[in-house]
Amino acid sequence: METIRVIRGMRDIHPDQALWWQRMERRLADTLRRYGYGEIRTPLLEPTALFARSIGEETDIVEKEMYTFQDRDGSSLTLRPEGTASVVRSYIENTQWKKEPVSRLYYLGSMFRHERPQKGRYRQFSQVGVELIGSLEPAADVEMIDVMVECMNAIGLKDTSLQLNSLGCSACRPNYRDSLVVYLKQNQGDLCDNCRRRLDINPLRVLDCKAEACRRVADGAPKIIDVLCADCAGHFQTVRKGLENLALDYEINHRMVRGLDYYTRTTFEMVAAGLGAQNAVAGGGRYDDLVKTLGGPEIPAIGFAAGLDRILLKLQDTIPEPASPPNIFVVTRGEAGWRASLELMRGLRRAGVQVCSDVRRGSMKSQMKQANRRGARFVIILGEDELTAGRVTVKDMHAEENSDQKQIQVPREDLHGFLLNRLGLLEGVVG
Ligand code: HAM
């Protein structure tokens, strides 16, 4: 029979890989907690209209990348392609502004986009996303960028650079858009087909097209930060000063417009060296109009999301793999040995030690083989002899073959203490 395979662009994460994920997620959660951000978990499925209204009908995501299907009652549902829209939906639904003036939220989880899969780009991928809702002040922008940088530091990501831009607001962006369209029309002949098509619908996106010819056109295009209104210019200036206070290096990237339509004012991205085309590891910005667009009051906000799959690709090349905690394998002989092992193992596990045994109840030789395969630090042997004598045999798998430390007889009641004190290795794991 033909075997069923994983869907293109989606992957399984096996236990050795999961260790990397767990370490990264732990460090992120810990860092975010220290900034006062609380975790929010929203559903994977949302009404399609949520994303069409927030991300924008004319974006690549909404036009061609969403996993959209009809529910049994005929309504249109979509697997979330990003997290900001859901957070804002929830914020409005719970009238959160009545409970706190500023909401600090983060989420960790899978997003779905039907993109062309390649290294660092998947159809199901994980993000950590962070949102700060309720402040128009540059202080919020600076906090958010600092949080992003500190999150990346905490997980050990190096060789990154920070890019900054401002997209203005509803007062100044339309003028910029008009002058950009005039410029792009003058250079239409040099644009790729896609950009020629986008020129009237979403001209800002032409600026971040990857095609060489379009890049050259974009390099000569008018720059939005030159035509910001006084409020937006002042805001941007204060954000830059704050970043300088924190000694955070950044570069202004006039071409960074982001792929979602809800952004206003400050936008930022972090790119990492060595990841090829998919080098944007995190990105975000202000979305001062989104709460209102989705039916809430006028409440400004800012946030970012980082792509954990591609970050991990880079981490695995640069930092040591997470150490597995020491583990113990219990080898038993005979029915009585097995039965006695049950309680012994439960006691050790309750004390925090990782313990396994052979549930296939193979020979001594095959049990020892399994212990080796699992990389057991200690093997505890429990058979009729040991039971009668009220002791266990502990084999230290790291000791020299002929040393007197290799195999030790330990009274049953002393086992926990022995593992802790005599071998000293389980500290922090036991107890
Ligand atoms: P985004 O730039 O679309 O922003 O995604 C953020 C990050 O997710 C990207 O920089 C990238 O690292 C990762 N990413 C995106 N697509 C893929 C993919 N197909 N495979 C692997 N990684 C991917 C947002 O999603 C906004 N919600 C960020 C935000 C939060 N803005 C304000 N608040």
pLDDT digits (tens, 9 = 90+) for 102-144: 999 999 999 999 999 999 999 999 999 999 999 999 999 999 9
Superfamily designation of domain 327-422: Anticodon-binding domain (3.40.50.800)
Q: Beta-carbon neighbour count of residue 187 at 10 Å?
A: 18
Residue 289: band (very low, low, confident or very high) from pLDDT cuts 50, 70, 90: very high
Mean pLDDT value across residues 162-167: 98
Determine if ligand 1 sits within 6 Å of the CB of residue 314: no
Model pLDDT, residue 277 = 84
Give the rounded percent of residues in the chain with a pLDDT score beyond 70.
Answer: 97
Is the pLDDT at 426 greater than 50, yes or no? Answer: no
Q: How far is the CA of 111 from the centre of ligand 1 (A)?
A: 9
Cα separations (Å) of 84 from 40, 50, 202?
11, 10, 21
Ligand 1 centroid to residue 106 C-alpha, Å: 14
* 431 confidence band (pLDDT: 50, 70, 90): very low
Kindly report the CATH number that applies to the domain delimited by 15-172+228-315: 3.30.930.10
**Would you say the CB of residue 303 lies under 6 angstroms from ligand 1?**
yes
- Which residue has its alpha carbon closest to ligand 1 atom 32? 303
User: Does any ligand 1 atom lie closer than 6 A to the CB of residue 282?
Assistant: yes
Give the mean model confidence (pLDDT) for residues 223-233: 96
Ligand 1 binding pocket includes 259 (Cβ within 6 Å):
yes
Query: Closest ligand 1 atom, CA of 120?
Result: 21
pLDDT for 416 beyond 70: yes
pLDDT at 329 over 80: yes
pLDDT of residue 423: 54
Measured between alpha carbons, how far is 38 from 27 in angstroms, rounded to an integer? 14
User: Is the Cβ atom of 106 under 6 angstroms away from ligand 1?
Assistant: no
CB atoms near residue 243 (< 10 Å): 21
Q: Is 231 in the pocket of ligand 1 (CB under 6 A)?
A: no
pLDDT at 430 over 50: no
CA distance 334 to 331: 10
Report the separation in Å between the CA atom of 84 and the middle of ligand 1, taken as the mean of its atom positions: 10
Rounded distance between C-alpha atoms, residue 47 and residue 49, angstroms: 5
Minimum CA distance residue for ligand 1 atom 2 = 283
For ligand 1, whether the C-beta of 11 sits within 6 Å is: no
Per the CB < 8 A criterion, the answer to whether 252 and 165 are in contact is yes
Q: Return the axis-axis angle of helices 173-186 and 193-201, rounded to nearest 10°.
A: 150
Structure token digits, residue 425: 């290795």
Separation of CA 257 and ligand 1 centre (Å): 13
pLDDT for 424 equals 56
Q: Is the pTM of this model over 0.85?
A: yes
Q: Is the pLDDT of residue 247 over 80?
A: yes
Strands of the 264-272 sheet, one edge to the other: 38-39, 103-112, 124-133, 301-307, 280-286, 264-272, 160-166, 251-252
- pLDDT over 80 (residue 420): no
Buried b (16+ CB within 10 A) or exposed e, 367-404: bbebbeeeebbbbbbbbeebbeeebbbbbbeeeeeeee
The residue extents of the domains of the chain are 15-172+228-315, 327-422
Assess whether the C-beta atom of 82 lies below 6 angstroms from ligand 1: yes
Per-residue pLDDT band at 172 (split at 50, 70, 90): very high
> Ligand 1 mean position to 116 CA, how many Å?
15
**268 in ligand 1 pocket by Cβ < 6 Å?**
no
Q: In this predicted structure, which of 43-57, 294-308, 348-362 has the lowest mean pLDDT?
A: 348-362
